[in-house]
Amino acid sequence: MKRVLYPGSFDPITNGHLDIVRRASKMFDEVIVGVLVNAQKSPMFDEDERVKLINEAIKDLNNVKVIKFSGLLVDYVAKENITAIVKGLRAISDFEMELQMASMNKKLNDDAETIFMMTATEYSYLSSSLVKEVFRFGGEIAGLVPDNVYKYMHEKNKP
């Protein structure tokens, strides 16, 4: 069984993230979306909220599951017999950072293969950080995040 892990903070999950999940679900028997804690970011949603929102957004995909984890990515990959790690790329700057991480993962675990997928052009500018910033200043985020996330963000942050 070919299993792939798509790790990220997904705070919140965007339509760009979903694009990668949907495309990966056509390539692998199972896609595991791994919600992780990133100490360098200040989250809008806790891990349980993010897992719930992602599960709602991918409910039509039978071969995708969402988990939360902490620790080294390569340890989870080895423990769970994951075939590969998939990472979405928007720009050259993403490639530089992701290449470093993929190289470190390979150094720590020679079986840890990373697959880079280009984000669809219509989402190439999109990031969770940008969505949060636009939202906090009252900008429109419809079409940038799944409908359930849009609704939840507005309900949670009512004036």
Q: Which residues are catalytic?
A: 17, 41, 90, 128
Helix axis angle, 47-57 to 147-156, nearest 10°? 140
| b/e map 112-135, b = 16+ CB within 10 Å | bbbeeeebbeebeebebeebbeeb
Contacts of 135 (CB under 8 A, 6+ apart): 141, 153, 157
Contact 115, 99 (CB under 8 A): no
Task: Please choose, from the candidates 8, 88, 80, 17, the residue with its C-alpha nearest in 3D space to the C-alpha of residue 47.
Answer: 8
Contact 87, 53 (CB under 8 A): no
Q: What is the largest CA-CA distance in the chain?
A: 50
Contact 149, 13 (CB under 8 A): yes
